[in-house]
Amino acid sequence: MSNVKTALVLAGGGSLGAVQVGMLQALVEEGVKFDLVVGASVGAINGAYFAAKPNAQGVEELAQFWRGLRKVDVFPFSLSDTLMAILRRRGHLLRDTALESLFRRALPIKLIEDTQLPLYIVTTNLLTGAEELLSDGNAEQALLASAAIPLVFPSVRIGERFLIDGGVASNTPIACAVSLGATRVVVVPTGFGCACPAPPKGLVALALHTLNLMSMRQLVRDIELLALRASIHVVAPLCPLSASVFDFTQTDQLMQRAFLSTQEWIKEGGLIRTGIPDSLLAHTHQSF
């Protein structure tokens, strides 16, 4: 087993990133060890915390971070600022100052290379559309770039590159993990609101929702394409799930549900079995 290289891959998904924390708690409790961490968007944020402190204490600190998180900490809406954005044609609705302040206050690392486990943050090159992996340099700027939802937040310039949300190029970067030499991949998805009664309202909420749906469909395709190149184990997403990617009021419930459901997934052989969980496939619990 010495030649097995295990990657933890964390998908994007807005406020549903809380689900990943519960999943990580169960995986750590089971004693699962990882050799590298790859994350996109909110998955990059959770991945940075975990890569810095890949143990029960670190995951608990991440859980405390999420419990204190409110929508305004990420999306500081202001009518006057939004109007100015439109009038000045600045290309994004919101400033990233709140998110930047949040990272500066709460991130356990300054540099990406300061993590205990190798960390790879997925971003997208705004000019070429190419996937850009960041594995060193300023962690705050890299995470701002990976979470820069198009038209919502500004792009982040790192060197000569203008970078945006990693989810545009690869929200569930299994291919990145495989290209980095992983032979075993444990994917921690956020899932999607399969039991939501209606699409979310508002431009930002709808943008997040759309990106999340795209990432879940991409995840299914990546599993099918890469199944012969690595052993891929996808933690089953929560189902039914009525929380949207823009809802920060259900954090505790989501973490607890994800912890229990992941424990069950492990007991049923999830870390041995490969394939696509039924709860990841496109479905709904609503009758119209």
* Tens of each residue's pLDDT in the chain, 288 residues: 468 999 999 988 999 999 999 999 999 999 999 999 999 999 999 999 999 999 999 999 999 999 999 998 888 776 676 667 666 767 677 888 889 998 888 899 999 999 999 999 999 999 999 999 999 999 999 999 999 988 889 999 999 999 999 888 765 689 999 999 999 999 999 999 899 988 888 878 888 888 888 888 888 889 999 999 999 999 999 999 999 998 999 999 999 999 999 999 999 999 999 999 999 888 888 654
At residue 199, the pLDDT reads 85
Contacts 24+ apart (CB under 8 A), 68-76: 69/248, 69/251, 70/248, 71/15, 71/246, 71/248, 72/98, 73/98, 73/99, 73/102, 74/98, 74/99, 74/102, 74/248, 75/152, 75/204, 75/246
At residue 184, the pLDDT reads 98
Measured in whole angstroms, the distance separating CA 268 from the mean position of its chain's CA atoms is: 25
**What is the model's pTM?**
0.92
At residue 1, the pLDDT reads 46
